[in-house]
Structure 1
Amino acid sequence: MGCDGGTIPKRHELVKGPKKVEKVDKDAELVAQWNYCTLSQEILRRPIVACELGRLYNKDAVIEFLLDKSSEKALGKAASHIKSIKNVTELRLSDNPAWEGDKGNTKGDQHDDLQRARFICPVVGLEMNGRHRFCFLRCCGCVFSERALKEIKAEVCHTCGASFQEDDVIVLNGTKEDVETLKRRMEERRLRVKLGKKTRKPKAAESVSKSDISEEAPGPSKMKTGKPEEASLESREKKTNSTPKSAALGSSSGKAGKPPCGAVKRSIADSEESEAYKSLFTTHSSAKRSKEESAHWVTHTSYCF
């Protein structure tokens, strides 16, 4: 009945029962959630950011993840919902004056209090160690305890004064129910942003097309319902533009003295101009002199007086 060496096995060594479920140490879980980055598993150091599901990250780790999205990373699933740097918010944390860090334990002869937190609530003074529920505002990034928001009810941030809504409050390292509600809000928010972008694009295209049409051809209302003064100005401009063309045609044909076809002869003497202006031309009465008044040496009618 014995084994080698005369040993006798016991029942628990031969019969294997169901495996016991390993229980996670709550204290170790809290330390991992509140002191280490969810993506890189390194100690949290500023700048610290949080996603829309309430998880804490180092900003450097998020940037590296966005630049190198390789499938080899085992922790990439924890940040699969982060598509850009705009999906995370940089947190404004208040330091805990009672936290000494590694300064007091340089020799290793002191007890490390892992429940001592680096940050506290600036309103109530509770430590951010996981024992109390904390949340941050997505609009400004300020971090408070949930007790502070419940006791001091306001629609404005307690530190920076920025206005916020209920949708902007995100719980840090919440329960499964909190994560589900935050995930639903995140999907609804992103859907609204997509619909807003789609509605803006057709409006911009319509405005551009309307401006092009108005520049190319004026509408019938502008052509028909114009003021008489504007119409007369346009007709005058057309006449002035057409006169040099007609003069050029006449000179090119060689008949400079004859007026163009369809032109009406008009004398300056019959015009409504002033007498001083009319006296400049030979058709005026002052230009017509008798032979006695004119000099004897002039062989042709002189126009210089």
Structure 2
Amino acid sequence: MDKNSIRESICSFLREDVGRGDLTSESIFSPEDKGRANLVARQFFITAGVSTVAAEVFRIQNSDILMSNGVEDGTLVQPGDVILTVEGPVVDMLKAERLALNLLQRMCGIATLTREFVDRVKGYPVRVTDTRKTTPGLRMFEKYAVRVGGGFNHRYNLTDGVLIKDNHIAACGSISTAVAKVRQQVPHTIRIEVETDTLEQVEECLQCGVDIIMLDNMDVTAMAAAVSIVNGRALVEASGGVNLEHIENIAKTGVDIISVGALTHSAPACDIGMDWLL
């Protein structure tokens, strides 16, 4: 993650949450009051964003807040484990608490779910990737968490590659026409990926010489047939409705990539609390 982008996002998030000030905390504590607290895991999970994001939230709120005991990203923690200790002005620690926990809980949830998916296909020559189905404003954080969990990133945004999808094809008239138009515009260094729903479309992609063929919502029998038809002439990506129960069956078909929207749009937040140290 780009540090400047992290800082810009966190500043925006703090403005949204703190507003003109913390009416409660500022009524109870003076600017001179100091405190110390631990961020504590309430469940098993994979850490993501502890020192890279959560600590930065406290630091941006007040540079006098000190951090210690930060757990490295990608660590499996258990209930009761301290993942970060913060110490400094009480008012500013309380102002930063909710945002730090919100981002941390979200990122750890994504990293943990990603690890589950990746573990299900260990031993198969396949990559588990995310999609663009991310929370607006949080894409950088969520895609980083996928990497921490052992997954890979698909396109970050629409400028990262060509992906001709069903609506492109429907509006254009055919895969062949869409591919030809793209080739007239993009550099030769850019790969072209096309989404397909049928084996006939897979054949059309091969005739066009596309680089990556996405098999969208196909059952595993059709996927296996598609992989056989392609026979190494293009990368094959499986997508659509992938879940933990059948991802291994998808990997068995021989696809090269499995993209999983659930990594970011359905990951449950992890339970993390901030416990005050008296």
TM-score interval, smaller chain: under 0.3
Higher relative contact order (CA 8 A, sep 6+): 2
TM-score when scaled to structure 2?
0.21
Larger Cα-atom Rg: 1
- Normalised to the residue count of structure 1, the TM-score between the two structures is 0.20
Of Structure 1 and Structure 2, the greater strand share is in: 2
